[in-house]
């Protein structure tokens, strides 16, 4: 086998998937505990990646129960077994709670069933209970085999041959209640369900001036309640980890009536099903309703979401997360030795990591212990950085101090939207305005981009003016693609007239380019010597300085949902291939990630040049595939990936070459990718990152007491983004070097590393650099000093 080794900048050696072989290995995959959307995507990735590296992969049906019962519950899977399951919620291999596996006799049966099929690698997708069970099994394994040999169930050769069991876990749980991982599989989809309901309820509550109490899942973890409260701007939220202070009944009623007095026609209160007060007594949705009705006399309704949250199709985020984790899990199993402790693959910021399973489980149990002992501050900290940031941001945005209690800074900060509209822009504006006001600044809204700035379309904007903005798509302030170049004098005049001390720009590549132009103008016009910060917001995700832009998740969900529908439209007809064109300018993010999430056979992008030979081999590959039981093919094409290989050209080529095997249809998705209500991810991300940008602006303005200070240094004009695991502010002067201005993309893009994953899952042989996969990390590392980019 060829071993490719090349040195990396870190001086270590690159490691390629080709160097790992699964030949002679057997992997068992099971889903256990409560189901979660995205489990099927994980199962699919494990099966296909396992087969790709030459291992045998077995489905273990009905979780641990199937492992104990054996027989037809443990079945070898092939490539087609997992075809067309990516978009299906729940788990196709079933999940069950299993009492038998908790006993040693049960585990003996399970071990016997696995050994008879040669399975010594387990991939377990479930919650902390399921993963703890797997670890106990792993520790007892050699003892179990010896006992089976003594009883004559297996021979001594088998004891030697299958001496140790490797276990890798993936956390599938909608509650996001597992410590050490930012997002568990299913959480994002559950938030989609909750936010769909909240958006629907808001319209009816608005009509009748009602108060709604919404109960969401989370017996021991308030993540879903907290994030949905943040994403819809709820008036009040009840969480198990952070109970309200004594006398909360009165404070809540005061807050609700103040909001009504500000002309707000509805109130939304979100309750986690496990909500408690400081004495650990339950706070139920019915109790809250009674309180509001008796104290305030408001028309109040309770809605309990229940199992709706577990159902439905997985979001794009969950499919990509589960696919990445599934591939990572197989690599971890191939690299495991008898000494390797059981690990769980998880997400930290935007990076896949491996963590020791039992450390994570221990931390998860510590949270519960802290709650039982009423150490609520510790409980919040143990939940992790992401949970804490969410909680602090929610408190800042939900509760306004009386004006006389806010120390004034006498600074004016302007907020502006630039470029094409992106979902989540309004959430970012709302967050910036409220954080700015809480910090004592006067906030000004600039309407219609740089064009409006030059014309003086600038108004002061207050706390109440941005109420209800989080769920609105597009840009309420108005946005234009015009660059500031021609208008610099006029803009400088407006900055002087309105006495603006800092600018927050929310937008795409034009916003980035515009900020560079204004930075370059500092030497001529001192008005531009003020702190400026850019929040990247564009569906194309093509702004240098960040891995993820506000709006790209919503755009991606649109692409994926449309692909699902288009694929389904052909069910029942003969074999068919769809050619779908996505937006993104020259940036292939939507096409590539959409391809990974929708299970595409190919995705053509500008960043990876292709020629007629590549097209030819793709067509042949699809033709071969279509001769099996596979009925549908999906090909994505980025709108600017090639001047001559247009969508029409590719459509005609596939139609001609596929004659007699499949027919073709094409779709151009167009502007539907820019519209629509923002996804929960974009609302939450826009809200949090915008609050962080305002903190930075406030810090900069504090460096300049008195009005005299000019900001001329590079670090006073920055892009705020996420890079791997951290939130980073990067000066635009540094980012200029990393930008391809002609094609409006960064020179290096992290997601290109995921190209091979898409190809492997579509049955292509390819080279995959797995240098980033690697050593187990201690869980504590995640609480370091850098600012962690928990999403």
Catalytic positions are: 175
- CA–CA gap between residue 233 and residue 269 (Å, rounded): 10
Contact 272, 224 (CB under 8 A): yes
Contacts of 516 by beta carbon, 8 Å cutoff, 6+ apart: 732, 736
Degrees, nearest 5: CA angle 638-640-646: 85
* Secondary structure of 98-166 as H, E, C letters: CCHHHCHHHHHHHHHHHHCCCCCEEEEEECHHHHHHHHHHHHHHHHHHHHHHHCCCCCHHHHHHCCCCE
- CA–CA gap between residue 22 and residue 166 (Å, rounded): 13
SS3 689: helix
Containing 30, the helix (H) or strand (E) segment is strand 26-31
* DSSP assignment string, 658-717: TTTT-EEEEEE-GGGGT-SPPPHHHHHHHHHHHHHHHHHHHHHHHT--SS-----SGGGE
SS3 740: strand
Neighbours of 18 (CB within 10 A): 16
Please provide the size of the chain in residues. Answer: 791
CA-based nearest residue to 89, from 211, 216, 193, 227: 193
* DSSP assignment string, 270-314: EEETT-B-TTS-B--HHHHHHHHHHHH---EEEEE-GGGGG-SPP
Q: List C-alpha distances in Å: 584 to 350, 363, 484, 591, 608.
A: 21, 41, 23, 8, 15
Which residues does residue 63 pair with via DSSP β-bridges, in sequence order?
none
Q: List C-alpha distances in Å: 436 to 226, 395, 469.
A: 22, 14, 16
Contact 191, 557 (CB under 8 A): no
Query: Could you give the count of Cα atoms lying within 13 Å of 155 in the half-sphere of its Cβ?
Result: 2
Which residues does residue 215 pair with via DSSP β-bridges, in sequence order?
271, 304
- CA–CA gap between residue 235 and residue 398 (Å, rounded): 6
- CA–CA gap between residue 693 and residue 446 (Å, rounded): 17
* Secondary structure of 225-277 as H, E, C letters: HHHHHHHHCCCEEECCCCCCCCCHHHHHHHHHHHHHHCCCCCEEEEEECCCEC
Neighbours of 302 (CB within 10 A): 16
Name the token pair of 756.
């091979």
């Amino acid at each position: 086998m060829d071993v490719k080794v090349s040195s990396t900048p870190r001086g270590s050696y690159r490691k390629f998937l080709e160097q790992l072989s699964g030949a002679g290995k057997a992997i068992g995959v099971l889903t256990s505990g409560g189901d979660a959307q995205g489990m099927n995507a994980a199962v699919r990735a494990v099966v296909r990646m396992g087969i790709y590296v030459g291992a045998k992969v077995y489905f273990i049906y009905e979780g641990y129960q199937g492992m104990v019962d054996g027989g037809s519950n443990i079945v070898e899977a092939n490539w087609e077994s997992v075809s067309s399951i990516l978009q299906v919620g729940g788990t196709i291999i079933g999940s069950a709670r299993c009492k038998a596996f908790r006993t040693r006799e049960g585990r003996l049966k399970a071990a016997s069933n696995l050994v008879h099929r040669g399975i010594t690698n387990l991939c377990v997708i479930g919650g902390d209970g399921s993963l703890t069970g797997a670890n106990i099994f792993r520790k007892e394994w050699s003892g179990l085999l010896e006992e089976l040999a003594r009883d004559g169930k297996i021979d001594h050769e088998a004891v030697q041959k299958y001496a140790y069991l490797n276990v890798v876990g993936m956390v599938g749980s909608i509650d996001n209640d597992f410590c050490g991982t930012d997002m568990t599989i299913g959480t994002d989809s559950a938030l989609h369900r909750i936010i769909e309901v909240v958006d629907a309820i808001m319209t009816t509550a608005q009509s009748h001036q009602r108060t709604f109490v919404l109960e969401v899942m989370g017996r021991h973890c308030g993540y879903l309640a907290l994030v949905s409260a943040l994403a819809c701007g709820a008036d009040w939220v009840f969480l198990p980890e952070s109970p309200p202070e004594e006398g909360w009944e009165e404070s809540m009623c005061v807050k609700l009536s103040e909001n009504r007095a500000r002309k707000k026609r509805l109130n939304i209160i979100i309750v986690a099903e496990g909500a408690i007060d400081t004495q650990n007594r339950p706070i139920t949705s019915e109790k809250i309703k009674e309180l509001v009705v008796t104290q305030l006399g408001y028309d109040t309704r309770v809605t309990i979401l229940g199992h709706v949250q577990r159902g439905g199709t997985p979001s794009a985020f969950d499919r990509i997360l589960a696919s990445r984790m599934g591939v990572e899990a197989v690599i971890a199993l191939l690299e495991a030795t008898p000494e390797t402790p059981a690990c769980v693959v998880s997400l930290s910021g935007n990076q896949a990591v491996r963590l020791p399973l039992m450390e994570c489980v221990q931390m998860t149990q510590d949270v519960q212990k802290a709650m039982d002992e009423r150490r609520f501050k510790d409980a919040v900290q143990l939940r992790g950085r992401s949970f804490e940031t969410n909680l602090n941001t929610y408190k800042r945005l939900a509760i306004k101090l009386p004006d006389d209690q806010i120390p004034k800074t006498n600074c004016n900060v302007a907020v502006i939207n630039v470029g094409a509209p992106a979902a989540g822009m309004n959430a970012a504006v709302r967050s910036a305005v409220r954080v700015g006001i809480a910090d004592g600044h006067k906030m000004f809204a600039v309407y219609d981009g740089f064009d409006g700035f030059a014309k003086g379309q600038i108004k002061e904007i207050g706390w109440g003016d941005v109420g209800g903005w989080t769920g609105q798509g597009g840009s309420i302030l108005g946005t234009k693609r015009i660059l500031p170049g021609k208008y610099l004098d006029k803009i400088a005049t407006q900055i002087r007239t309105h006495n603006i001390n800092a600018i927050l720009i929310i937008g795409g590549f034009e916003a980035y380019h515009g900020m560079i132009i204004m930075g370059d103008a500092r030497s001529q016009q001192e008005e531009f010597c003020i702190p400026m910060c850019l929040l990247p917001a564009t569906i194309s995700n093509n702004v240098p300085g960040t891995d993820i832009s506000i709006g790209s998740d919503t755009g991606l969900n649109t692409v994926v949902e449309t692909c699902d529908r288009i694929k389904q439209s052909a069910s029942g007809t003969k074999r068919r291939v769809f050619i779908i064109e996505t937006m993104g300018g020259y940036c292939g993010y939507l096409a590539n990630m959409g391809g990974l999430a929708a299970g595409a056979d190919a995705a053509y992008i500008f960043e990876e040049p292709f020629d007629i030979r590549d097209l030819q081999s793709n067509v042949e590959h699809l033709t071969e595939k279509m001769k099996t039981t596979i009925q549908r093919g999906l090909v994505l094409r980025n709108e600017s990936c090639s001047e001559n290989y247009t969508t029409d050209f590719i459509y005609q080529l596939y139609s001609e070459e596929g004659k007699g095997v499949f027919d073709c249809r094409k779709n151009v998705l167009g502007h539907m990718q820019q519209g629509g209500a923002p996804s929960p991810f974009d609302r939450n991300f826009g809200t949090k990152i915008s609050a962080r940008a305002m903190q930075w602006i406030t810090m900069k303005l504090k460096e300049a007491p008195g009005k005299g200070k000019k900001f001329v240094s590079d670090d006073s004009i920055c892009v705020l983004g996420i890079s791997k695991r951290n939130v980073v502010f990067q000066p635009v002067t540094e980012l200029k070097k990393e930008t391809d201005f002609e094609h409006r993309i960064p020179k290096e893009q992290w997601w290109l590393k995921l190209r091979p994953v898409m190809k492997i899952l579509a049955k292509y042989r390819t080279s995959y650099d797995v240098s980033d996969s690697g050593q187990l990390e201690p869980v504590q590392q995640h609480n370091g000093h850098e600012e962690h980019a928990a999403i």
